[in-house]
Amino acid sequence: MNIEVEKSYRLLRFLNKPRHPLLRYPLALLSGIGVWMLGAPLAVAADSIKLASRSNGLKIVVRRGIWFAHTGWLPVSTRSDFFFDISEEMSTKAADCLIAWLADNRRITDFERHIWQADLHGGKLEKADFSECDNDRDTSTSSLVISPQDSLWQYDKSFCASVNHALSIISADMDNPTAAPVVAHKFQKSAQSFDKNDAYRTIKDCDSLMGSLEWPWYVISGTLLGAVREQDFLGHDYDIDIGVDAKDFDIKQLRDAVAGSNNTWFIKSESYCTFREVVSERAVRYSRLTQPILVKLVHHTGLVADLFVHVQEGSVVWHGSAIHRWDNSEFSLTDYTLGSQVVKGAADADRYLTENYGDWRTPVTRFDCSIDPPNIRYSRTARSITYLSKVIYRYLLDGDVEKARQYLSALESDGMILKQDGVYRYC
């Protein structure tokens, strides 16, 4: 049976909220047992219990449970959380165990096997020790060059081999697309899941948090679009996008401010970006940002504020994640209104929003942040190529060959993949 479940933002907010240890630890035990009952190896179940006992780990373990519902013994196929990176917050021991488990799993497709093994190999590379790395080239990054003599070399080779296996399957499916499967049951998300009153409180508390740090901050992306076009949050929003400049940002200061916020905030995740660059046939450089590029802040209401650190490179200011980056022209700030709240945003809103959305004045019901923005580029990270490969494959599963072709063309244009003898390969 093929089940499609849309995101429930009420559920996401429930999972995002901090919990007292007296509730958190029993939930951690139950969620770990649940993952094991769905078919997870014992090492992964034990890792899940440890993760869920942390203040922000339950959501990841719930997503693991959805993933194992698809890959384990249940006779259902749940494509709902297809883009989940199973390596997220997973220990190396559990990852090694799961790689072997995937190799023997006959319920999943070959694409799924290879792309999830790539996720796990890439996750191990992201966890490499950069503490003694060379950071002379750029004080904002630490770099590690690996060669065949290094223990990490095999991880990199296994990662690339898994990605290329997955891309070869995509290449074959592009030439011989199959009919889209029939979804047995589809659950729809609620249109009222974004509570604007909670959003106003979140913005007000953002101002207090950033004011305590003395960091100039501003709204960006969809949040700025709502402020400019509707003087309010967009009706279909589910999080808040804010920005600070890299020159002002310091993660330790932010952690201290969050810890002193009397449980108004907690940090859900920090994205540091581990970039991959081929130096030669026998050398690959991994470079890690010393400060996160994206911090997901969870408000006590359960709403998430995505804090994007903006990096200036010449006349370009970019922000992004481990998967995407969006380039903008330099901008100054001016005041805008979100409901009853006054916020800062790019002064030349027309230029900024045109760079991000094209025709931003016309509301659209579907906007693909991975290929639709005119200013989109892709981060040269392990997470980026595996995530985008999953997106392409998902479109092929749905029978949308044209959308899959658009993604492949975008990745070719950006230099992430190339086509040799009719087969796409990771560069």
- How far does the chain reach from its first CA to its final CA, in angstroms? 37
Residue 424 has pLDDT above 70, yes or no: yes
Query: Regarding beta strands 341-346 and 316-320, do their DSSP bridges make them parallel or antiparallel, or are they unpaired?
Result: unpaired
Task: Tell me how far apart the alpha carbons of residues 176 and 62 are, in angstroms, rounded to a whole number.
Answer: 35
Residue 191 has pLDDT above 70, yes or no: no
Q: List, in sequence order, every residue forming a beta bridge with 295; answer none if it has no partner.
A: 270, 307
Segment 371-392 shows an average pLDDT of 95
* Position with higher pLDDT, 161 vs 6: 161
Segment 187-192 shows an average pLDDT of 44
Strands (E), 66-176: 77-78, 141-146
pLDDT value, residue 23:
80
Q: How confident is the model at residue 185 (pLDDT cuts 50, 70, 90)?
A: very low
pLDDT value, residue 157:
96
Residue 229 has pLDDT above 90, yes or no: yes
CATH architecture of 196-377: 2-Layer Sandwich (3.30)
Task: Tell me how far apart the alpha carbons of residues 151 and 168 are, in angstroms, rounded to a whole number.
Answer: 27
Residue 403 has pLDDT above 80, yes or no: yes
Question: Tens digits of per-residue pLDDT, 52-92?
Answer: 998 778 889 999 999 999 899 988 776 656 788 999 999 99
What is the CB neighbour count within 10 angstroms for residue 22?
7
Strands (E), 114-210: 141-146, 185-187
Closest CA to 20 of 305, 260, 266, 198: 266
Residue 10 has pLDDT above 60, yes or no: no
Tokens found for residue 22:
């007296």
Structure-token match 């504020």, residue found: 305
Residue 16 has pLDDT above 70, yes or no: no
CATH 3.30.460 placement within the chain: 196-377
Residue 274 and residue 156 in contact, taking contact as beta carbons nearer than 8 Å: no
Torsion angle of C-alpha atoms 157, 158, 164, 166, degrees rounded to 10? -170
User: In terms of C-beta density within 10 A (0-12 exposed, 13-18 middle, 19 or more buried), how is residue 248 classed?
Assistant: middle
Task: Tell me how far apart the alpha carbons of residues 122 and 367 are, in angstroms, rounded to a whole number.
Answer: 28
For every residue of 177-240, which 3-state class applies, written as one string? CCCCCCCCEEECCCCCCCCHHHHHHHHHHHHHHHHHHCCCEEECHHHHHHHHHCCCCCCCCCCE
Question: Tens digits of per-residue pLDDT, 99-152?
Answer: 999 999 999 999 999 999 999 999 999 888 775 555 445 567 888 899 999 989
For every residue of 245-283, which 3-state class applies, written as one string? ECCCCCHHHHHHHHHCCCCCEEEEEEECCEEEEEEECCE
* Position with higher pLDDT, 383 vs 235: 383
Residue 284 and residue 277 in contact, taking contact as beta carbons nearer than 8 Å: yes
> Which range, of 76-80, 234-238, 375-379, 394-398, averages the lowest pLDDT?
76-80
Tokens found for residue 186:
């589809």
Going 399 to 403 to 406 to 412, the CA torsion angle's sign is negative
Segment 331-354 shows an average pLDDT of 96
